[in-house]
Amino acid sequence: MEKELKNLIEKWEGRRGNLIMIFHEIQNRYGYVPRDISLKLSEILDVPLARIYEVLTFYNYFNLNKPGKHTISICMGTACYLKGAGEVLKEFREILNINEGETTQDGNFSLVTVRCLGCCGIAPAVTVNGKVYGKVDKAQVADILSEYTESRDRVNEKT
Amino acid sequence: MSGIKAVFIADTGVKGPSRTEDFYAAFLSRVRERNLQDSVQLVRTEFSGIYDKGIFLRIWPGGVMYRDVPESRIDEIIERTIISGEVIEELRYTEKPKSLRVVLRNCGKIDPECIEEYIAAGGYGALNRILKDMSPEEVIEELKVSGLRGRGGGGFPTWMKWNFTRQAQGKEKFIICNADEGDPGAYMDRSILEGDPHSVIEGMITGGYASGAQNGYLYIRAEYPIAIERVRKAINQAYEYGLLGDDILGSGFSFHLGIRLGAGAFVCGEETALTASIEGKRGTPRPRPPYPSLRGLWDEPTIINNVETLANIPPIMERGGKWFSEIGTEKSAGTKVFALTGKVRRSGLIEVPMGTTLREIVYEIGGGLETGMELKAVQTGGPSGGVIPADHLDTPVDYEHLQDLGSIMGSGGMIVMDSSDCMIDVARFYLRFCVDESCGKCPPCRIGGYQLLMILNHIAKGSGTPEHIEKINEISNIMAKASLCGLGQTAPNPVFSTLKYFTEEYLEHINDKKCRSGKCSGLLSYRIDPDKCTRCSICFKKCPVNAVKGSREEGFTISSDECIKCGECFRVCRFDAVKVR
């Protein structure tokens, strides 16, 4: 792990103000910033752990917990909000039985709200693993989810 | 006279239809008098998009447009224009170019990943000339003539920023492109970076040369992966072509450019928070002065410009400051890119000269409202801006006019709202955003924002009191005056402006417990219509809090004290017996 971490941060070592860029490298690799990595990082860079967490927790782009296999992002930008993103979010919450910022117990889905995806023309917008769904209606939510669920029913049908 | 001519008569203005009716009849009778009805076709058209120009005609072929046409001149028009094909100059209407592409001149026309195409479109030509023939002072002077003001929100004259940094003493100097576009409902900067990254880079190199900065950073939101990738490619290409690096184009001037990523903190759009973030720290603002142009990144003089501002630089340098200053209005030169969204028919990115009215933007460019409902307000400036009600639609869009109305230009989000949007709900939306994004450093913003939000929640839930209005004014004032940075200072704007223009709506929520748009679910009340109720008892069974009282024999009622307004009874009723008010 240490070697991998060193490889990741090599490019940024010794540069001024590198901490945030290093977090980006780590999150790109692991999907979040694990605590043991932060501990190692603190040793390598000789920066106190408190300082690392001070910065890490300020920015909500960085995850401290492992995200689910599929990340559902609901756009809560103004245009989406006015066109009913709240209803769509509620439906996702109810079906997945989690709140935004949480991951389902099976680790399959994370639900997050984002500020603005910048595609206000197709509001309300939702992305799943970066794939964009536009003009989402409450009724479509279950269909979207089923694309990413290894449905037991489907398995059953086959057997 | 040959061929068939067509005359389009459009309804304009408020009294349009009836006036147009008479005019049409008069025109038709004159045409018949001359026995021309087989070759001249008269067409009544709907609204042409041009307001307050009286009777409006467009004559085909040719398409010449006449405005303010009195009935007395019909004969003349038939004789001179229709028969002889002449144009009557004093009636003629020339269309103002509604949209004008300066910043977006290359977007969608060139391949953004190909520097050769940018160069072929004239790119880097201005830079070449500047490095060869112009002194930094001359560059700043040209910028001064242009009248360019910051497009990120504040509208500070760009040449002054550059000049301050030029005159400041420092071990080194920096120029930063602020691409931390976080306003909900705005994506101008993303489109520029994705569509024409080189123009921003050229702008930055020019700024570096003018101010003496040798290092630059593009601070881009991590949420914009495509923009980041394109900019990265563009920077590499510029290095390959010797447009970045040491001794650019043999001029002896060196400039280096790097990318730093934001990490989802809206406050980092504030310049002192932005520099803190590039330094790898928490993005909290600090008191100004000293301004970043004197002490910014690593305490050195730093220019911070927004993406759109920088994209304006190459065309200004290429065509001259005077050319630029002639676009737009006297105090707000140039164009502005807006992300027109919301309930408008054609939403998208638009670029218009400053001074274009909101009406022109919404109706002529945006095609009016998609819902067919009435326009209620236009929101500009995102969470720092305010709403502009329908009766101010003829306001020209520039820095001063928007500020007078209690809104701001902001970075360019423009959201159209119709009568189904509740203004209290809109104010809450923006305020919630600011409360979430407050960095927590200064109490007026941290506490004031939260308290304001609590008050709005009360009003939306139906527990508002008239004293709350006073409190809103008081807290807003304190926040605006005492907050450390722009985020807190402007956070009350959406509340303030909705309260100013839609006081009635606030009072309705407070006194009558009524939300005319039906958005505030806390204010709805449910009632069972005994005439329609079949006593099937489904609502009785489904109500999660047992607020439906009664029995199949006596009939059912809803106890409003116990009702939590979840709407379940309304949804399950198959006989339309549950009424919502």
Taking the alpha carbons at both ends of chain A, their separation in whole angstroms is 42
What's the gap in Å between the CA of A147 and the closest CA on chain B?
Answer: 24
- Number of domains, chain B: 5
Residues 414-433 of B with CB under 8 A from A: 415, 417, 421, 426, 429-430, 433
Residue at A121 is within a domain: yes
H or E element that contains B274: helix B271-278
Give the residue with greater pLDDT, B44 vs B288: B288
Alpha-carbon gap, residue B212 to B254, rounded angstroms: 10
Residue at B329 is within a domain: no
Alpha-carbon gap, residue B146 to B131, rounded angstroms: 19
Q: Are residues A98 and A125 in the same domain?
A: yes
From B512, B536, B568, the end of a domain falls on B512
User: CB within 8 A of B546, min separation 6: which ones?
Assistant: B562
Q: Are residues A90 and A122 in the same domain?
A: yes
Residue A122 at interface with chain B, using a CB cutoff of 8 Å: no
Give the residue with greater pLDDT, B95 vs A63: A63
Residue at B97 is within a domain: no
Interface test with B, best of A11, A12, A81, A83 (most B CBs within 10 A): A81
The SS3 assignment for B180 reads coil
Contact B452, B476 (CB under 8 A): yes
Q: Are residues B434 and B499 in the same domain?
A: yes
The neighbour count for residue B197, using CB atoms within 10 Å, is 28
Residue A121 at interface with chain B, using a CB cutoff of 8 Å: yes
Domain of residue B449, CATH code: 1.20.1440.230
State the amino acid at position A98 in one-letter form. Answer: I
Contact A20, B274 (CB under 8 A): no
Strand order through the sheet with B375-380: B348-353, B335-342, B413-418, B375-380, B386-389
Per the document, the length of chain B is 581
Give me the long-range contacts of B273-278 (CB less than 8 A, separation at least 24): B273/B439, B273/B485, B274/B176, B274/B178, B274/B180, B274/B219, B274/B304, B275/B176, B275/B302, B275/B304, B277/A20, B277/B219, B278/A17, B278/B176, B278/B217, B278/B219
Residue at B358 is within a domain: yes
Most confident of B44-58, B103-117, B334-348, B455-469: B455-469
DSSP-derived secondary structure letter, B122: T
Q: Are residues B155 and B295 in the same domain?
A: yes
pLDDT at B18: 57
Domain of residue B563, CATH code: 3.30.70.20
Structure token pair of residue B31: 């045409």
**Radius of gyration, alpha carbons of chain A:** 19
B61: closest CA among B89, B45, B41? B41
Domain of residue B86, CATH code: 3.40.30.10
From B472, B488, B512, the end of a domain falls on B512
pLDDT at B3: 66
Are B417 and A23 an interchain contact pair (Cβ–Cβ within 8 Å)? no
Q: Are residues A81 and A133 in the same domain?
A: yes
Q: How many CA atoms lie within 13 A of B546 on its CB side?
A: 1
Q: Which domain holds residue A131?
A: 70-149
Strand order through the sheet with B302-306: B256-261, B215-220, B174-179, B302-306
Q: Are residues B165 and B43 in the same domain?
A: no
B211: closest CA among B237, B262, B174, B247? B174
B81: closest CA among B65, B99, B103? B65
Q: Are residues A75 and A115 in the same domain?
A: yes
Q: B12 pLDDT band (50/70/90 cuts)? A: low
Taking residues B527-552, report their average pLDDT: 90
Full-prediction pTM beyond 0.95? Answer: no
Contact B433, B494 (CB under 8 A): no
Nearest CA in chain A to B268: A59
Are B184 and A17 an interchain contact pair (Cβ–Cβ within 8 Å)? no
Does residue B13 carry a pLDDT above 70? no
Residue A49 at interface with chain B, using a CB cutoff of 8 Å: no
Q: Are residues B200 and B248 in the same domain?
A: yes
Q: A143 pLDDT band (50/70/90 cuts)? A: very high
Taking residues B30-55, report their average pLDDT: 70
Alpha-carbon gap, residue A2 to A11, rounded angstroms: 15
Q: Which domain holds residue B363?
A: 335-418
Angle between helices A2-10 and A35-45 (to 10 degrees): 60
Residue at A63 is within a domain: no
| Partners of residue B65 on adjacent β-strands | B58
Q: Are residues B320 and B353 in the same domain?
A: no
From B76, B91, B106, the end of a domain falls on B91
Q: Tokens 């931390």 identify what position? A: B180
Nearest by CB to B190, from A58, A82, A118: name it. Answer: A118
Structure token pair of residue B558: 């809803």
State the amino acid at position B345 in one-letter form. Answer: R
Contact B51, B13 (CB under 8 A): yes
Taking residues B363-385, report their average pLDDT: 88
User: CB within 8 A of B385, min separation 6: which ones?
Assistant: B379, B402, B407, B408, B410, B413, B490, B493, B494, B497
Q: Tokens 């926040």 identify what position? A: B479
Domain of residue A110, CATH code: 3.40.30.10
Residue at B103 is within a domain: no
What's the gap in Å between the CA of A108 and the closest CA on chain B?
Answer: 22
Tens-place pLDDT, residues B503-536: 999 999 999 888 888 888 788 888 899 999 999 9
DSSP string, chain A: -HHHHHHHHHTTTT-TT-HHHHHHHHHHHHSS--HHHHHHHHHHHT--HHHHHHHHTT-TTS-SSPPPSEEEEEE-SHHHHHTTHHHHHHHHHHHHT--TTEE-TTS-EEEEEES--S-GGG-S-EEETTEEE-S--GGGHHHHHHHTS--HHHHHHH-
Q: Are residues B307 and B370 in the same domain?
A: no
Residue at B164 is within a domain: yes
Interface test with B, best of A54, A100, A120, A127 (most B CBs within 10 A): A120
Q: Are residues A9 and A48 in the same domain?
A: yes
Residue at A37 is within a domain: yes
Taking residues A68-77, report their average pLDDT: 91
| Partners of residue B101 on adjacent β-strands | none
pLDDT at B337: 93
Q: Are residues B124 and B259 in the same domain?
A: yes
Residue at B102 is within a domain: no
The SS3 assignment for B94 reads coil
Interface test with B, best of A116, A129, A132, A135 (most B CBs within 10 A): A116
Q: Are residues A144 and A74 in the same domain?
A: yes
Residue B239 at interface with chain A, using a CB cutoff of 8 Å: no
B-chain residues within 8 Å CB-CB of A28?
none
Q: B50 pLDDT band (50/70/90 cuts)? A: very low
Q: Are residues A133 and A79 in the same domain?
A: yes
Q: Are residues B140 and B261 in the same domain?
A: yes
Residue B256 at interface with chain A, using a CB cutoff of 8 Å: no
Q: Are residues A99 and A133 in the same domain?
A: yes
Alpha-carbon gap, residue B10 to B31, rounded angstroms: 18
A95: closest CA among A126, A117, A123? A126
The neighbour count for residue B559, using CB atoms within 10 Å, is 13
Does residue B419 carry a pLDDT above 70? yes
Are A59 and B263 an interchain contact pair (Cβ–Cβ within 8 Å)? yes
Q: Are residues A14 and A74 in the same domain?
A: no
Q: Are residues B503 and B544 in the same domain?
A: no
Q: Are residues A43 and A81 in the same domain?
A: no
Residue A123 at interface with chain B, using a CB cutoff of 8 Å: yes
- Number of domains, chain A: 2
Alpha-carbon gap, residue B490 to B487, rounded angstroms: 6
Nearest by CB to B184, from A55, A61, A116: name it. Answer: A116
Does residue B15 carry a pLDDT above 80? no
The SS3 assignment for B494 reads helix
A-chain residues within 8 Å CB-CB of B277?
20
DSSP string, B344-396: BSS-EEEEEETT-BHHIIIIIIS-SBSSSS-EEEEEESGGGSEEEEGGGTT-B
The SS3 assignment for B416 reads strand
Residue at A129 is within a domain: yes
Residue at B100 is within a domain: no
pLDDT at B106: 86
Strand order through the sheet with A126-128: A102-103, A109-114, A70-75, A126-128, A131-133
Q: Are residues B449 and B562 in the same domain?
A: no
Does residue B63 carry a pLDDT above 90? no
Residue at B519 is within a domain: no
Residue A64 at interface with chain B, using a CB cutoff of 8 Å: no
Q: How many CA atoms lie within 13 A of B326 on its CB side?
A: 5
Q: Are residues B183 and B271 in the same domain?
A: yes
User: CB within 8 A of B390, min separation 6: which ones?
Assistant: B374, B375, B376, B377
Q: Are residues A74 and A143 in the same domain?
A: yes
Q: Are residues B142 and B290 in the same domain?
A: yes
A-chain residues within 8 Å CB-CB of B194?
none
Distance set, CA B398 to CA B291, B363, B378, B393, B454 (Å): 25, 18, 15, 13, 33
